[in-house]
């Protein structure tokens, strides 16, 4: 919530209330309320936690962490074996947290590398009140004295500060407070990551002194922020500013150090740390299962198969000592390694869980297998010491139980790995190599060189041949082609690219050769930001998961109680002859029958299925969404979107293309049109508003030059929400709406009123132009409606979703657009805060509201809505105000997002129905409810196999979401992008 509230402070009320600005949104990191001093600042730590098997394990870890003082929040991800902890460093540190996790019984490792990649942020701040260099120096000194601030630069001319800081130590709020403490007003302009990190392997270094020489050489480079040395690995980690330097510079500097005996290359990495852990875990379970099978198969054959083969049966039944047989000794010897060596992980997990007052699946497995194993040991020992007692053993039960559970865990971990395939595929999109071009001063290519794509630096020129992947984000400086961007944006149709167009790293060039200048590399790239967004989304819990978390707290103790009650009930029933002796199988007595029922109950119960129901579906759902160009920020957004029954649309840039063009000009005075547009353009060229840009662009048609020089405008004033005022060629020019004319006592003649009414009736925006106090002309500007908007609104109606348009444009234009797309309810001339008020009013009426917008002015409404959808994002995907980002800028993706969320939550419900239904049906059947009437009973080893299968089935059910296809109605729409020249 804190992040959403912050969006409200970042609104710039630009323009005239008619057209929203471009699609940029404020970044809104989360910090605790009241963090106003360094002592209160929040830090984050990410741990790898191994050994967790179910929601109960995650609950134990979370509980153990939260016992510590200074913990604000602990997020435990059982699927990826990670724990993200928000804490206050003044009260607790990372090592204490790690020890707390290990005290609970799980191995924990601090993932410093993963956190460090995100440990440096840069914020830009505007500072009001500075008058001289002593002011700027005072501010700069004050900033550099703050713990956690790595670098601070204050520019007096622009009245701005750029601060690099570690968000784990200091927050941007504290930086703002520090500036205010020096007596100046500070306002946050932007917040985001602005540093990259790379690991280099240095060859030829034999001593620490040599490593220090290399370090000093690198430290002297501009843009190098931090250097970490790892002499044992000959590894150097550098954090640097990509605007100033890059990895090729580092390699060249190292090669030129020490008389050329040093060589450097990018440190070899075998995938991500998480992937390595997942692969190792899969291997461990696979090896354990195979070894278990080696011992269990003979146990199974001697107890279930060979007993029906006369010759072999006679050999197995041969007495050794008193009544103990060869078969019993063989089964005992073979099952013991399975129980205590292969199955030791269950003992360890159960002990650690019980030691801290909780119980997980390991407790159930350990109790069930021990009951079967030790009763069998008792039976065999009694047979060995008695000349008459013929004991029955259940060694096959314990051995087969462990084998089936290990098989289930192997399949489960293997399937869980598939749920995060979306991130792996995204990370693999970047090509391994790139063709680097060297250009002369005239822009001619002088050299081509194939390099590792990780060595690309900002402003490099890369050659992209047909069929090759684009190596980095950038813009085309030469060539024409079509680029397939479906792997990033989900847009299936190739996009035409020519000089000046932007390209995204990881997309595929289909035809033609392109020369691309790199603008964003490393962590700045769109691909990296998408990966981070999807990762954080998959880490976040959906509110519905709280249901499973509550159940997991008492599930295992309840199962143990039911199991013991089942055993006791059947044992007492047998002792007091409450059922006929014919019910007891010939191979056992009443005690053994009761024991089997009790063990079956214990091992058939599965808390894992409940714990996996939500996170696996959310992981797959968010991954599928990313592949289709719909970035969903976690379970909360998914849960809200599937409930949405009312959608509020912004107009400009959402229902319309968002690029207004001049469609008509009506002059009310005798003057040449070229002169008229020269004066208007001279005033409007100083404005950043989209309408102003449209007028200036149109005025260029009266000039031969591409970038014409306009007359000088004096006394320029921009009136927010109304227009501009300036003096050009000694004439006072006012360009804006009727209220602006009224404020400056400019009378609007009847002819102009009629033209305005006619213009608004055609869904156009009329802009009045006044020269020296008289209306001289009216410029009609139109923002074309997006193709397919009418069909999308119609489909939403068929889905029983109410659609409303809220816009800052005038009523005439708004009503005309609404009629065209089929909207019945419209609110026009709404300021940003009024849009948010309308959203809240709809929520108060009982609606679950989704807001679809594209500009900063939509931020309050995006924040206020149950689910905010940002449209028109392009490559700028670092959007914090919205819950869902629609990367293709297509309205149809609003339907895709809602449909995908509904499908995901139906899958979550199905998972819960299966997991709960399995336990509610399986436990009574295992307890022998059907036995009196049908003589059907569930042997423990079959119960164990069913338990293992239930977890796998839940994961596989979630994996079916990978085959999601958007509604067929959308396939029938020919929705195409519109390029307005």
- The percent of the chain in helix, strand and coil, each rounded to the nearest 5, is 50, 20, 30
Point out the catalytic residue in the list 40, 650, 783, 858.
650
Strand order in the sheet with 235-240: 224-230, 235-240, 196-203, 263-266
Report which of 642, 644, 655, 659 is spatially closest to residue 826, judged by C-alpha positions: 655
> Do residues 724 and 735 make contact, with C-beta atoms less than 8 angstroms apart?
yes
Predicted confidence (pLDDT) at residue 707 exceeds the cutoff of 80 = no
State the pLDDT confidence band at 419, using cuts at 50, 70 and 90: low
From CA 601, how far away is CA 929, in angstroms rounded?
11
> Do residues 234 and 205 make contact, with C-beta atoms less than 8 angstroms apart?
yes
- Fold entry, domain 630-651+792-900: Rossmann fold (3.40.50)
From CA 780, how far away is CA 18, in angstroms rounded?
13
Element at 826 (helix H, strand E): strand 825-827
Over residues 918-942, the pLDDT tens digits come to 888 889 999 999 999 888 888 887 8
pLDDT at residue number 194? 42
From CA 802, how far away is CA 652, in angstroms rounded?
19
Domain residue ranges of the chain, discontinuous segments joined by +: 43-110, 117-191, 196-269, 273-420, 431-521, 525-629+901-980, 630-651+792-900, 661-782
Tell me the β-bridge partners of 709: none
- Fold entry, domain 117-191: Alpha-Beta Plaits (3.30.70)
From CA 500, how far away is CA 461, in angstroms rounded?
13
State the pLDDT confidence band at 879, using cuts at 50, 70 and 90: low
pLDDT at residue number 647? 92
From CA 61, how far away is CA 74, in angstroms rounded?
9
From CA 821, how far away is CA 824, in angstroms rounded?
9
From CA 106, how far away is CA 96, in angstroms rounded?
14
The arithmetic mean of pLDDT across residues 369-378, rounded, is 87
CATH superfamily label, 661-782: Calcium-transporting ATPase, cytoplasmic domain N (3.40.1110.10)
Are 43-110 and 117-191 in the same CATH fold?
yes
State the pLDDT confidence band at 553, using cuts at 50, 70 and 90: confident
From CA 623, how far away is CA 932, in angstroms rounded?
49
Predicted confidence (pLDDT) at residue 24 exceeds the cutoff of 50 = no
The arithmetic mean of pLDDT across residues 1-21, rounded, is 38
Average the pLDDT over each of 158-162, 227-231, 235-239, 477-481 and give the range with the smallest value. 158-162
- Measure CA of the first residue to CA of the last residue in the chain; give whole Å: 41
pLDDT at residue number 191? 60
- Annotated active-site residue 650? The verdict is yes
The arithmetic mean of pLDDT across residues 171-184, rounded, is 80
Mean per-residue pLDDT over the chain, rounded: 79
The arithmetic mean of pLDDT across residues 239-247, rounded, is 79
Site of tokens 């280099």: 200
- Report CA Rg, the chain: 35
Residues in the chain: 981
Query: What would the CATH number be for the domain defined by 196-269?
Result: 3.30.70.100
Output the CA torsion sign for 674, 675, 680, 685: positive
pLDDT at residue number 178? 85
pLDDT at residue number 766? 87
Percent of the chain having pLDDT more than 90? 10
> Do residues 79 and 143 make contact, with C-beta atoms less than 8 angstroms apart?
no
29-36: long-range pairs with CB below 8 Å, 24+: 29/3, 29/121, 29/167, 29/171, 29/172, 29/191, 29/880, 30/2, 30/3, 31/2, 31/171, 31/173, 32/2, 32/72, 32/86, 33/2, 35/171, 35/173, 35/174, 36/173, 36/174, 36/177
Has domain 431-521 been given CATH number 3.40.50.300? no
Helix, coil or strand: residue 498: coil
The arithmetic mean of pLDDT across residues 206-217, rounded, is 80
From CA 781, how far away is CA 779, in angstroms rounded?
6
Predicted confidence (pLDDT) at residue 132 exceeds the cutoff of 60 = no
Element at 516 (helix H, strand E): strand 514-520
Six-digit token pair at 978? 């519109």
Quickly count helices (H) and strands (E) in the chain. 33, 36
Domain formed by 43-110, architecture: 2-Layer Sandwich (3.30)
Over residues 251-289, the pLDDT tens digits come to 888 888 866 678 888 877 644 444 555 677 788 889 999
CA 543 to chain centroid: 16
Report which of 14, 24, 19 is spatially closest to residue 653, judged by C-alpha positions: 19
User: φ and ψ at 662, to 5 degrees?
Assistant: -75, 125
From CA 843, how far away is CA 942, in angstroms rounded?
51
**In angstroms, what CA-CA distances link 165 with 32, 117, 127, 182, 809?**
18, 13, 18, 19, 41
pLDDT at residue number 911? 87
Site of tokens 């489909």: 795
- Judged by phi (left if over 0) then psi (alpha if -120 to 50, else beta), residue 665 lies in beta
State the pLDDT confidence band at 330, using cuts at 50, 70 and 90: very high
> Do residues 575 and 670 make contact, with C-beta atoms less than 8 angstroms apart?
no
pLDDT at residue number 8? 38
pLDDT at residue number 112? 60
> Do residues 827 and 838 make contact, with C-beta atoms less than 8 angstroms apart?
yes
> Do residues 574 and 595 make contact, with C-beta atoms less than 8 angstroms apart?
no
Over residues 76-131, the pLDDT tens digits come to 877 777 888 888 887 888 889 998 998 888 888 887 655 554 567 777 787 765 65
pLDDT top residue among 916 and 488: 916
Site of tokens 């800028």: 889
From CA 325, how far away is CA 246, in angstroms rounded?
75
The arithmetic mean of pLDDT across residues 395-406, rounded, is 85
Predicted confidence (pLDDT) at residue 406 exceeds the cutoff of 70 = yes
For 698, what's the count of Cα atoms within 13 Å in the CB-facing half-sphere? Answer: 25
pLDDT at residue number 4? 42
From CA 488, how far away is CA 627, in angstroms rounded?
7
State the pLDDT confidence band at 41, using cuts at 50, 70 and 90: low
User: Which residues lie below 8 Å from residue 845, measured CB to CB, with a gap of 6+?
Assistant: none
DSSP for 497-526 reads E-TT-EE-TT-EEEES-EEEEEEE-GGGSH
Element at 73 (helix H, strand E): strand 71-77
pLDDT at residue number 978? 32
Over residues 447-476, the pLDDT tens digits come to 888 888 888 888 889 999 998 889 888 999
From CA 123, how far away is CA 162, in angstroms rounded?
6
- Judged by phi (left if over 0) then psi (alpha if -120 to 50, else beta), residue 120 lies in beta
Average the pLDDT over each of 403-417, 497-511, 818-832 and give the range with the smallest value. 403-417
pLDDT top residue among 846 and 185: 846
- Cβ neighbours of 670 (radius 10 Å): 6
State the pLDDT confidence band at 573, using cuts at 50, 70 and 90: very high
pLDDT at residue number 27? 31
């Amino acid at each position: 919530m804190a992040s959403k509230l912050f969006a409200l402070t970042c609104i710039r009320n630009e323009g005239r209330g008619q057209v929203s600005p471009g699609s940029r949104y404020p970044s809104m990191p989360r910090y605790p309320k009241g963090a106003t001093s360094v002592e209160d600042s929040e830090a984050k730590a990410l741990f790898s936690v191994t050994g967790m098997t179910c929601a109960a394990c995650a609950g134990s870890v979370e509980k153990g962490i939260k016992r510590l003082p200074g913990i604000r929040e602990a997020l435990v991800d059982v699927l990826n074996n990670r724990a993200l902890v928000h804490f206050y460093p003044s009260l607790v540190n990372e090592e204490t947290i790690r020890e707390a996790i290990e005290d609970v019984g799980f191995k924990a490792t601090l993932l410093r590398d993963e956190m460090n990649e995100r440990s440096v942020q840069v914020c830009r701040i505007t500072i009001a009140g500075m008058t001289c260099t002593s002011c700027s120096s005072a501010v700069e000194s004050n900033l550099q004295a703050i713990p956690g601030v790595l670098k601070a630069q204050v520019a007096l001319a622009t009245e701005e500060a750029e601060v690099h800081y570690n968000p784990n130590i200091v927050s941007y709020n504290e930086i703002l407070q520090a500036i205010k403490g020096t007596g100046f007003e500070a306002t946050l302009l932007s917040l985001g990551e602005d540093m990259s990190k790379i690991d280099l392997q240095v060859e030829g270094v034999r001593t620490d002194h040599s490593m220090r020489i290399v370090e000093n050489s690198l430290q002297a480079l501009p843009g190098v922020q931090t250097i970490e040395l790892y002499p044992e690995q000959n590894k150097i980690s550098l954090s640097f500013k990509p605007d100033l330097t890059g990895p090729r510079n580092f390699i060249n500097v190292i090669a030129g150090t020490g008389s050329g005996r040093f060589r450097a290359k990018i440190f070899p990495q075998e995938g991500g740390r998480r992937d390595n852990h997942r692969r190792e875990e899969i291997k461990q379970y696979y090896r354990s299962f195979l070894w278990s099978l080696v011992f269990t198969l003979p146990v199974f054959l001697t107890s279930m198969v060979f007993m029906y083969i006369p010759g072999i049966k006679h050999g197995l039944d041969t007495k050794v000592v008193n009544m103990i047989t060869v078969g019993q000794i063989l089964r005992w010897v073979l099952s013991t390694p399975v129980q205590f060596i292969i199955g030791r992980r269950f003992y360890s997990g159960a002990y650690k869980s019980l030691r801290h007052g909780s119980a997980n699946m390991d407790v159930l497995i350990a109790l069930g297998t021990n009951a079967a194993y030790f009763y069998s040991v008792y039976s065999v020992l009694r047979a060995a010491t008695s000349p008459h007692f013929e004991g029955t053993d259940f060694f096959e039960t314990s051995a087969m139980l462990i084998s089936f559970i290990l098989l289930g865990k192997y399949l489960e971990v293997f399937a869980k790995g598939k749920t995060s395939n979306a991130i792996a595929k995204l990370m693999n999109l970047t090509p391994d190599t790139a063709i680097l071009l060297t250009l002369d001063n005239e822009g001619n290519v002088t050299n081509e060189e194939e390099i590792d794509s990780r060595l690309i630096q900002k402003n490099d020129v890369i050659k992209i041949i047909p069929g090759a992947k684009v190596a980095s984000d950038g813009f085309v400086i030469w060539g024409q082609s079509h680029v397939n961007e479906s792997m990033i944006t989900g847009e299936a149709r190739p996009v035409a690219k020519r000089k000046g167009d932007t390209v995204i790293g990881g997309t595929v060039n289909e035809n033609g050769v392109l020369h691309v200048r790199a603008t964003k590399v490393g962590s700045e790239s769109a691909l990296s930001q998408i990966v981070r967004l999807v990762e954080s989304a998959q880490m976040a819990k959906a509110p519905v998961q709280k249901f499973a978390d509550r159940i997991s707290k008492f599930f295992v103790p309840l199962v143990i109680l039911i199991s013991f009650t089942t055993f006791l009930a059947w044992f007492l029933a047998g002792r007091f002859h409450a059922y006929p002796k014919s019910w007891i199988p010939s191979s056992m007595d009443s005690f053994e029958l009761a024991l089997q029922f009790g063990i079956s109950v214990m091992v058939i119960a599965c808390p894992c299925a409940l714990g996996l129901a939500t996170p696996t579906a959310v992981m797959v759902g968010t991954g599928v969404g990313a592949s289709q160009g719909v970035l969903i920020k976690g379970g909360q957004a998914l849960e809200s979107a599937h409930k949405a029954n009312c959608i509020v649309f912004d107009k400009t840039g959402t229902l319309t293309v968002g690029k207004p063009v001049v469609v008509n000009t009506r002059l009310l005075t005798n003057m040449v049109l070229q002169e008229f547009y020269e004066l208007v353009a001279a005033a409007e060229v100083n404005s950043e508003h989209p309408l102003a840009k449209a007028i200036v662009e149109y005025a260029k048609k009266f000039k031969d030059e591409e970038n014409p020089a306009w007359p000088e405008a004096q006394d320029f004033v921009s009136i927010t929400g109304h227009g501009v005022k300036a003096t050009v060629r000694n004439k006072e020019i006012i360009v804006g709406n009727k209220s602006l004319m009224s404020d400056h006592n400019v009378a609007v003649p009847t002819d102009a009123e009629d033209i305005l009414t006619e213009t608004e009736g055609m869904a156009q925006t009329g802009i009045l132009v006044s020269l020296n106090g008289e209306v001289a002309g009216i410029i009609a500007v139109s923002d074309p409606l997006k193709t397919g908007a009418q069909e999308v609104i119609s489909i939403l109606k068929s889905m029983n979703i109410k659609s409303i348009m809220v816009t800052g444009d005038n009523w005439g234009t708004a009503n005309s657009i609404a009629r065209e797309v089929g909207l019945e309810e419209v609110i026009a001339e709404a300021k940003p805060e009024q849009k948010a008020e309308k959203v809240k009013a709809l929520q108060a009426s009982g609606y679950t509201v989704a807001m679809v917008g594209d500009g900063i002015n939509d931020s309050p409404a995006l924040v206020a809505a149950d689910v905010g959808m940002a449209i028109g994002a392009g490559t700028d995907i670092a959007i914090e105000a919205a819950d869902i980002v629609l990367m293709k800028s297509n309205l149809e993706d609003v339907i895709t997002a809602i449909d995908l969320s509904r499908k995901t939550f139906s899958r979550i419900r199905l998972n819960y129905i299966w997991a709960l239904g399995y336990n509610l049906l399986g436990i009574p059947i295992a307890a022998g409810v059907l036995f009196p009437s049908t003589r059907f009973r569930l042997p423990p080893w079959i119960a164990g196999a069913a338990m293992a299968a239930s977890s796998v089935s839940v994961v596989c059910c979630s994996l079916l979401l990978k085959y999601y296809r958007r509604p067929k109605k959308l396939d029938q729409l020919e929705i195409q992008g519109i390029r307005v020249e």
